[in-house]
Structure 1
Amino acid sequence: MYLLKSARFQKAIFLFIVVAPAFAAYVLFTLYPNALSIYYSFLDWDGIGAKTFIGWDNYIRLFEDPFILRALQHNLILLVTVIPITLTISLVLADLLVNRAFAENSFYKVLYFFPNVLSLVVIALVWSFIYDGTFGLLNGLLRLFGLGGEHNWLGSKSTALLSMIPLYVWCYVGFYVVIFMNAMQGIPKSLYESAILDGITHMQRFTKITLPLLSGVIRVGTIFLMLSVIKGFEYMFIMTKGGPGGSTDVISLYMFNLAFGGLNLGQHIYGYASTIGMMIFVLLVGLKLVVDKFFAKDSIEY
């Protein structure tokens, strides 16, 4: 009876009741599927029929598959373009809105965040119309300014992947503008006032005060953008199906097609697709470690 009335026991029961549902969901929907993926990666399995254990054959196949390297190259192009462009535009817009203190800042937040509430299908269809080779908005604008305007943007190997970059940037910028604005508003104004008294320029305030104090937020934003670029394939799937000629085939789309019959005349290669999933996991962990090298681990105090 004393045990039931003790504060420590009651606290433990309360924490268990609060944490148990979330932990159970994490185990059921995260840990368990990941453990199954590791197991499936050692199988020759179509996702339905009998399973055949083949050891490391799927992992050996990774290094012999030419489509893996091609897909990773496409992901690399997106990584080195989408992430710096998105972060740069987001930081500049957030700094302008916070330091100018426009009365319409709340409206701008909603406006920039708007793409994040739209359906992926709607966004893909809108941008498909923009890039349409015959009636597209982009070609129409080019014709308006006498710059041609007959190019099939999504139907050409030379422009299909590059055409996806503005789409990604447009989708992600608004979210990070809101994040960076909120972070900047938490920086004490006295720091900027002292800097102004010292006579430094706005650019110097941005580079020597704002950016260092936002390094933790920028680090997290970089990691989440990497996750989105590497794991995301929805826009390619809807707009190009990985074409033309595999020019927009990214690693996650290739994995999806293998697992669910998008390739090989409907044949499912679920075991090998799980192996690619393990490779993506290792790749993301490696990229996260690389990002940590570029950002200070210790938070900057002010």
Structure 2
Amino acid sequence: MNIEMKGNEGIIRKRSGTSQAKRQRFIFLLVAVAPSLLGYLLFTLYPNVLSIYYSLLDWDGLTDPKFVGFDNFVNMVSDSFVWRALYHNLLYMIVVPAFIVLISLVLAYLLNNKSYRENPFYKVLYFFTNVLSTVVIALLWAFIFDGSFGMLNGILGIFGIDMNSFYWLGDSKTAFWALVLPMVWGGVGLYVVIFINAISAIPKSLYESAILEGARPMTMLFRITIPLIRSVIRVCVVFVVLGTIKGFEIIMIMTNGGPEGSTDVIGLYMFNLAFGKEYHNYGYASAIGMLLFVILIAAKLIIDKYYPEESVEF
């Protein structure tokens, strides 16, 4: 009888200890996660839900809002400025990520597989662009493209190409493509560092075996390096594509969508509708924001379908 009572007491004591450990674990997780969760709910989820409501209004932010239902979305279909901005977004979404990922991958591969004495300096140099703010990058490249004092025209003049004070950001034929350079230049540094860390995790024995087999550097890049860091490349592609679709800071500072709307993108158009000098239409801007949200989701789904995630073991 005493043995049975002692056994029951041991079971009860064990259960109480387990429940106490669970409570402590729950309290720890609550304290650790609550600030981030609260910030996400307050500054991300709540504004997004509020934007859905605003998209159904005709409101300038000052007067009483007027409920218009889906009129903003109907007007958006016939708005030529929206489709022009979306076309520019599509071009940037194709060109900018392709250059960023390709250049970052090649530079990271060279820094990992070539024993240059200056490698540590190069790593810091490439990452330096990521330290600079978007405003600094935009102003720097705006000066480079300046017609009178710009570095680009000066370099071309050294090679005998007289541009006659041509302002690259002032011509609708060149402004769009001129903006690709600062976008790529400002984005390469971060992904060089990411790819360096990914490539450094690949066993050196794989490269040594390939060298013994007579493989060339480019062959090793496409047959060994890229397949083994495919999952990392996929994540980088997702970040660059989504960032290119919704980003507009460089464009706003350098051209503000001009000249003649040749560099306008959907994010900048939405911003100018809500906070510009001429218009203050939060309802219509919120409707465009919902369109941008749908585009981001669609882009993510397309990447998942045609570039699925694969786990690689080595």
If the length of structure 1 is used for normalisation, what is the TM-score?
A: 0.94
CA distance in 2, matches of 1:160, 1:190: 47
Deviation at 1:146, TM superposition (A): 1.0
Deviation at 1:241, TM superposition (A): 1.5
SS in structure 2 opposite 1:49?
coil
1:57 aligns with 2:71: yes
Deviation at 1:4, TM superposition (A): 9.4
1:272 aligns with 2:259: no
1:258 aligns with 2:270: no
CA distance in 1, matches of 2:115, 2:47: 47
Kindly provide the amino acid, as one letter, of the partner of residue 274 in structure 1: S
Q: Deviations over 1:218-258 (max 9, x none)?
A: 11111111122111111111111211111111110000000
Q: Is the 8 A contact 2:273 2:281 kept in 1?
A: yes
Aligned to 2:311: 299
Aligned to 1:110: 124
Q: How does 1:159-198 map to 2 (within 5 A)?
A: 159-198=174-213
1:282 aligns with 2:297: no
Q: Deviations over 1:192-228 (max 9, x none)?
A: 2232333322222111111011111111111111122
Aligned to 1:246: 261
Q: Is the 8 A contact 1:3 1:9 kept in 2?
A: no
Q: Is the 8 A contact 2:234 2:309 kept in 1?
A: no
Aligned to 1:69: 83
Q: Which runs of 5+ in 2 are unaligned?
A: 1-12
Q: Deviations over 1:101-146 (max 9, x none)?
A: 3232222111011111112222111111111112211111111211
Count residues in correspondence: 299
1:209 aligns with 2:224: yes
Kindly provide the amino acid, as one letter, of the partner of residue 179 in structure 1: I
Aligned to 1:135: 149
Q: How does 1:75-90 map to 2 (within 5 A)?
A: 75-90=89-104
SS in structure 2 opposite 1:278?
helix
Aligned to 2:59: 45
Kindly provide the amino acid, as one letter, of the partner of residue 148 in structure 1: D
Q: Is the 8 A contact 2:198 2:229 kept in 1?
A: yes
Q: Which runs of 5+ in 1 are unaligned?
A: none
Q: Aligned match of 1:147 in 146, 149, 161?
A: 161
CA distance in 2, matches of 1:198, 1:295: 30
Q: Is the 8 A contact 2:242 2:299 kept in 1?
A: no
Q: Is the 8 A contact 2:56 2:67 kept in 1?
A: yes
CA distance in 1, matches of 2:170, 2:247: 21
Deviation at 1:294, TM superposition (A): 2.7
RMSD: 1.6
Distance 1:58 1:3, change over 3 A: farther
Aligned to 1:228: 243
Q: Is the 8 A contact 1:259 1:273 kept in 2?
A: yes
Distance 1:48 1:3, change over 3 A: farther
CA distance in 1, matches of 2:19, 2:97: 54
CA distance in 2, matches of 1:296, 1:63: 32
CA distance in 1, matches of 2:160, 2:216: 41
If the length of structure 2 is used for normalisation, what is the TM-score?
A: 0.91
Aligned to 1:95: 109
Kindly provide the amino acid, as one letter, of the partner of residue 168 in structure 2: W
Q: Is the 8 A contact 1:112 1:177 kept in 2?
A: yes
Q: Is the 8 A contact 1:4 1:10 kept in 2?
A: no
Q: Report which stretch shifted further, 130-139 or 1-10.
A: 1-10
SS in structure 2 opposite 1:6?
helix
CA distance in 1, matches of 2:212, 2:159: 47
Q: Is the 8 A contact 1:141 1:149 kept in 2?
A: no
CA distance in 2, matches of 1:127, 1:63: 35
Q: Aligned match of 1:126 in 124, 140, 148?
A: 140
**Which is higher, the Rg of structure 1 or of structure 2?**
2
Deviation at 1:3, TM superposition (A): 7.4
